[in-house]
Every structure is written in C-alpha cells, then in structure tokens.
Structure 1
C-alpha cells in the first residue's frame, strides 16, 4: 500500500538528508526494498534498520562474485539480522548463454549481454513484485551517466504504465568521503576488498583495484573504452517529474 502522491514526490526530490529520505520512503510504501551490494548500500541498510526493523533487502548473486563479497553478504545478513533475498540468474538462460559463448565472452563482446542475464533479468523479476526500491547510487560514481541523478524518481527502466515503480537514491548528493565518514563513525561493516584497493566492486572477472587518482569506475570493465560504465541496473533511469 502506498501513501505516496505527487506532492510527496516533489518534496522528497528537494530533500538532501538521507535519513529523512529513507524514513519518508519507508513510511510511504509498505512494499519497498533496499538493493544491497556495496559500501553505500550498507550505509542505507544501517539507516533503514534504525528507522524500521522490518526492512526488506535483496542482493544479486551473479555466480561470479569475489569470495570476499559472498562472505560480506553473509556478514551483513547476520549483523543486521536480515532475511535477505539472494537473487540468482535464470538457470536455462545462463546455461544456454555459457554453452554458446563460454565464461568470458564479455572480453570480446562487451559486458552488456552477460550483465543482462546475471544482473538485469533477476532484478527485473524482483522489481515486478515491488512498488518502490532504494539504491546506493551517487552522482559522483559515474559522471557520464549519474550526474543528474535525483533522490526520488519514476523508474523508467523497470516501471510500466500498469505497474509504476518509484526509485529512491538517498545518497545521490553524497560523495565517497561522506559514505566512508559514516562507515567509520557508526562502525558499519564493509567488504574486505576495499582495504585491498578495490573501490567499486562488481563480479570478480570484471573488477580490479584502482590506481591512485583514478576514478572509482575505472576498476570496472577496464578493457572497455566507454566512459559510460553501467551494467544495465541503473542506466536509462531519468528524472521524470511534473517539473521537467
């Protein structure tokens, strides 16, 4: 059940306090979930648990994550006492894909097809059951695709006319420094890979540590030239309000 109207939508877009954004979002929607994968998402889980003990969390298991990431997922589940939904790729689609193209086709064909099967389709199935979701996206994560990111938006990628979906990005205006200041201040758990030079963490074959002064997305799909490094989970989500 949703108590979210146009006025609420506009007010939230003008809000900059992540705690208030999460509180208002969870108050407005009963059927809302947090997407969990990285440091930003754990900050949101920490905020959400403090606001509402019954927070719904899901995570994508692509089958290609680092061992440290699997350990991190379990650590978060136990630390916050969550009944976390772990989403897996469709077996038939994945087996057909790897049978035809092998396990490393993304090195030749680009990452979109692999990400589509391992990430986008499982996410699409999950979002079809929700009225709203919360992500840890920040504007400074990928200037080429997220620089106009709103804290509240209509999800134009996964929502439909018959099933409208609202997407919340409470940390849109935060920086990486803000995230890590929160983690240190409240002793929030984080992935061990961050201490090994990994900033933006995805699948093991597609992620490597970044060098000093490199942007965090440089560690993702480094063999590709494009500056628009997205896997399909968020690209295409544009601001859509009555003020456009």
Structure 2
C-alpha cells in the first residue's frame, strides 16, 4: 500500500477517534470507513465489552473470531451465550485444513511444547493465516488490546499501522484499567468467560494457557514454558 494511502487512513482514523467517548468514536470510525471496519474477538473481557457496544448500538462492524480448534470449552460456551444474548452474527475463521493436517502429521498434535519454532508455526497455521484472510479488503481493524496485556505494549498508541496486513488498527480500550473493564462488564451484565474468575487472565488455546499465580505477570499464563521475551503469537506485529 502506498505511503500516502497509509498516512491518509491514519489521519482519518485519528480524527474519527478524537473523543473520550468510545461509542462516539466507533460511530465516527464506521462513518469514515463505510464497510471497511472489522473487529476480532477472542471472547475475553475486553472483546466482550467491545462486542456489547457494537451489537447494542447496531454498528455496521464485521465481528469475527479465530477458531483454532484447541480452545477451552468455556470459550465456546461464551461464544454461544454471546450469540444468544445479542442475536448478531460472529464470523468464524478456521485454519487451512491441508496445512494443519500436514503439520500435525509431520510433528504430532502437541509439538508446540518442543520448540519455539514449532509453537510459532502452530500459531501461524491456526491464527495468523486465518487472520490474514479475515482482514483482506478491510481498512480498519479494531482490537481489544490493553497496555496492561504485555510489557511490549506499554508504549503503544491507540492508533497504529499494521504493515504486515496493510491495515490501520484501533485499540479503543488501550488505557482502560482492569477495574474499569470489570466494572463495565458488571454494569451491563455482559456474558464473559468464566475462566477469568479462576485466575485465567489472558485466554488462548487450552494447551498453551494456564491460570496465573498471585503476583505473576499478566502474560505469565501464556506459553509458560517459554522465555518471557518470546511470548507473542504473531497476531499483533508492528512490521
């Protein structure tokens, strides 16, 4: 994508989100990028809060999820309860069947424990490539990222450019605290993943996620067998 197009998209997005009210900001974004706005949900606290706004305000934003095939039963239950509550579609994207079959046939179903390379290849097949398909032909990707998610995200801004996918990104909850988020969930009785009540903070695939212990880092429960500096799956990059 040409630099001028990138700068134009970021300027337009910056102007649209120049308000402290998240509902107004999202309305402005869909007005500025008609038919071009998409939101990814993993059914986390953050994503449930944003989905609640999108669905109750009937905003024309495509909502999708990446079904890796290794999710917790509780995550699938939250998906179902969200559909029941809002009666709005959530589009699933799945791994390419042939790529996944070849990978597992060659290395086994739990090979991601054996090396960082295997784990990142698994993440690519189950999450990154399906994400690339989901984002095709879209202009703005809305996420539930918060600065508290990772030390690598403390210097992020609410608007950024994802060069890997040639798309502008907007993180409306970037500076929300966990207390603010939980209060919002309670206020509107939003369905959420019950694993959050059992010490699971950042919830991904079942084999790669555990509850965190008191005092542990927010991301300690993800890929806990790896060095902390490697704990990203490739969905959110800054290329």
Q: TM-score, normalised by structure 2?
A: 0.89
- Equivalent position of 1:32 in the other structure: 37
- Equivalent position of 2:196 in the other structure: 194
Query: Aligned to 1:119, what secondary structure does the other structure show?
Result: helix
Q: What's the offset of the Cα at 1:15?
A: 4.3
Q: What's the offset of the Cα at 1:70?
A: 0.9
Q: Supply the distance in 1 between the matched residues of 2:74 and 2:19 (Cα, whole angstroms).
A: 35
Q: What's the offset of the Cα at 1:20?
A: 2.9
Q: What's the offset of the Cα at 1:8?
A: 2.9
Q: What's the offset of the Cα at 1:194?
A: 1.1
Query: Aligned to 2:114, what secondary structure does the other structure show?
Result: helix
Query: Aligned to 2:39, what secondary structure does the other structure show?
Result: strand
- Equivalent position of 2:207 in the other structure: 205
Q: Supply the distance in 1 between the matched residues of 2:80 and 2:36 (Cα, whole angstroms).
A: 24
RMSD value, Cα? 1.8
Query: Aligned to 2:92, what secondary structure does the other structure show?
Result: strand
Unaligned 5+ runs, structure 1: 160-164, 238-244
Unaligned 5+ runs, structure 2: 1-7
Q: What's the offset of the Cα at 1:120?
A: 0.2
Runs of 4+ in structure 1 off by over 2 angstroms are 4-21, 49-55
- Equivalent position of 1:120 in the other structure: 128
**Contact 1:199–1:209 (8 Å) recurs in 2:** yes
Q: What's the offset of the Cα at 1:5?
A: 5.2
Q: Where do residues 79-94 of structure 1 align in structure 2 (5 Å cutoff)?
A: 79-94=85-100
Q: Supply the distance in 1 between the matched residues of 2:186 and 2:20 (Cα, whole angstroms).
A: 21
Deviations 1:97-141 (A, max 9, x none): 000111111111122111000000000011113222210001111
- Equivalent position of 1:73 in the other structure: 79
- Equivalent position of 1:44 in the other structure: 50
**Contact 2:10–2:161 (8 Å) recurs in 1:** no
Deviations 1:5-63 (A, max 9, x none): 55433335654443333222122222211101111011011122233354321000000
Q: Supply the distance in 1 between the matched residues of 2:90 and 2:107 (Cα, whole angstroms).
A: 32
Identify the match of residue 103 of structure 1 among 109, 130, 141. 109
| Change in 2 beyond 3 A, CA 1:198/1:83 | same
- Equivalent position of 2:157 in the other structure: 150
Q: Supply the distance in 2 between the matched residues of 1:15 and 1:141 (Cα, whole angstroms).
A: 23
Query: Aligned to 1:92, what secondary structure does the other structure show?
Result: helix
**Contact 2:64–2:91 (8 Å) recurs in 1:** yes
**Contact 1:138–1:174 (8 Å) recurs in 2:** yes
| Change in 2 beyond 3 A, CA 1:56/1:39 | same
Q: Say how many residue pairs are matched.
A: 228
Q: Supply the distance in 2 between the matched residues of 1:174 and 1:83 (Cα, whole angstroms).
A: 26
Identify the match of residue 20 of structure 1 among 18, 24, 30. 24
- Equivalent position of 1:138 in the other structure: 146
